[in-house]
Amino acid sequence: QDPRERHGSKKRVKIHPHTVTAKYATHTPYPGDDGYDDAPSFEDFGSFLEETSDRKQLTESKKWPLTLFGSRDKDTAPKPQGSGKGVGEQLASFGEASVSASRLTWVGLLGAALAHGCLIVLTRLASERFSLGPLFLVLVRSIVQLLSVAVPLHRGESPFGPEGYRLRLLCYGIAYSLSLCCAYSSLTFVSAGNATTMWRLATTALSATLAFLLLEERLGLADGITIAAGLCGLGLVLLPTADETNVDSPTDPVVFWRSAFGWSLSALAGLWMALALVGYRSLKERVGVGTALFTVSWTGCLLAPASLALLQEGWSWPVSAPAWGLVLGLVACSVAAFLGMTHALTRLHPALVSASQSLEVSVAMLLHLAVLPAAPTAPEVVGNVMVVLSVGWLVAMKLLPSRGGGRRQREEYEEILDSPIK
């Protein structure tokens, strides 16, 4: 027995795909303090595991007992291990791959936020200039997005998802489509800016809560503080203007209840979207982005007409080339936003994904000022600045420290290789 074990110290072991490291502690660690602060995050470590063939084969043998599609085993061949590649080189390769993948993920998220901001402005222009109802636009984009069925068919996959996960995928599609229907229906009762801001605020807050309750995924302290600052910014944007708070004018009960119903729909849309984000997060290893897009499309084709009939919103087809161009631009923005956001869910916490999309409020405000010049209020300006700073800080925290982190990990493993504990 090791003399350090006899004197009451505890040996703690960390298992790496190719290395087992041990660490001795002379005190009882606090809960959550495992002494490995420089370990990569779960999204970076996941990309490393995907490139590690022995762990990949082990994962597939345990989680994929039956091959879902015949081409998977044909294309996957075991790679020989022990080719002489040192741990230092592996860690260097892992660090470079994880940084590159994280950058692409955040670029996609920021692009999705820009597309979401364009969606808000295009939806408003379609309603004001061409009298196209919001729910009608949801139906049109859902019909066009049915073309995404070509992606799973091209890969030899079922468009309705793998067996055993189709019910969960259906629930995801229904939740996502219900969120869109509720959000776009609320535009009939409240302004587009307020509806979008409330939708995003509820989605971010509820996705953090549901991810913890359903998936046991926690946010780090720094991430939580940054997201809370962004939510405070969204709250400032929602503050009523002087005209809305004029207590001298009598309030029409019909106007009040219509507004209350619109706010309720926006909050309900946030709940459904949070459920959808958490739902896809649990399916990320089984369902591709193309299959998810097709699921959202065909469920939207069913729920959008039902919502149109329920709210008795009239049908109005585009009759001019500019109107059709606007509708096609709206569809392109919706596809781009969906792809960027859904791909990010395979690597990032749902609350981080939703918080990054808060930029859509700032983008929509800038585009709205360019199209319809109007001076924003002071709370709107301060709130949008807080949103931009919070998202920028999130991106900086996720990307900038990774270089130093990878270097520290490499030095730690090089030191362990020279030690007698292997």
pLDDT at position 238, please? Answer: 92
Q: Domain locations in the chain?
A: 101-241+254-399
More confident call, 398 vs 15:
398
Other Cβ atoms less than 10 A from the Cβ of 74: the count is 9
Dump pLDDT digits (tens) for 375-393.
788 999 999 999 999 999 9
User: Which segment, 93-97, 120-124, 225-229, 237-241, is predicted with the most confidence on average?
Assistant: 225-229
Position with higher pLDDT, 241 vs 38: 241
Q: What is the pLDDT of residue 98?
A: 60
pLDDT band of residue 243 (cuts 50, 70, 90) is low
Extract the tokens encoding 50.
């995907």
Give 202 or 92, the one with higher predicted confidence. 202
What is the 3 state secondary structure string of 350-417?
Answer: HHHHHHHCCHHHHHHHHHHHHHCCCCCCHHHHHHHHHHHHHHHHHHHHHHCCHHHHHHHHHHHHHHHH
pLDDT at 402 over 90: no
With contact defined as beta carbons under 8 Å apart, do 196 and 272 qualify? Answer: no
Q: Which of 313, 305, 338, 269 lies closest to 119 in space, CA to CA?
A: 338
Distance of alpha carbon 55 from alpha carbon 41, whole angstroms: 17
Tokens of 361: 């409020």
Residue 159 has pLDDT above 60, yes or no: yes
Please, are residues 171 and 160 in contact by the beta-carbon 8 Å criterion?
Answer: no
Q: Looking at the predicted structure, is the pLDDT value of residue 314 above 80?
A: no
- pLDDT, tens digit, for every residue of 92-101? 554 555 666 7
3-class SS of residue 345: helix
pLDDT value of residue 249 = 58
Query: Between these two residues, 70 and 105, which has the higher pLDDT value?
Result: 105
- Which amino acid is present at 388? V
pLDDT band, very low/low/confident/very high, at 87 (cuts 50, 70, 90): low
Under DSSP, the state recorded for 40 is P
Q: What is the arithmetic mean of pLDDT over 45-51?
A: 44
Which has the higher per-residue pLDDT, 147 or 86? Answer: 147
> For the whole model, what pTM was predicted?
0.73
Question: CA torsion sign, 78 to 151 to 305 to 135?
Answer: positive
What would the mean pLDDT of 286-301 be, rounded to a whole number?
95
Half-sphere exposure of 287 (CA within 13 A, CB side): 29
What percent of the chain has a predicted confidence (pLDDT) above 70? 69
Strands 20-25 and 10-15: antiparallel
Please provide the distance, in angstroms rounded to a whole number, between the alpha carbons at the two ends of the chain. Answer: 17
| Of residues 80, 351, 59, 370, the one with CA closest to residue 200 | 351
Q: Give me the pLDDT at residue 88, please.
A: 54
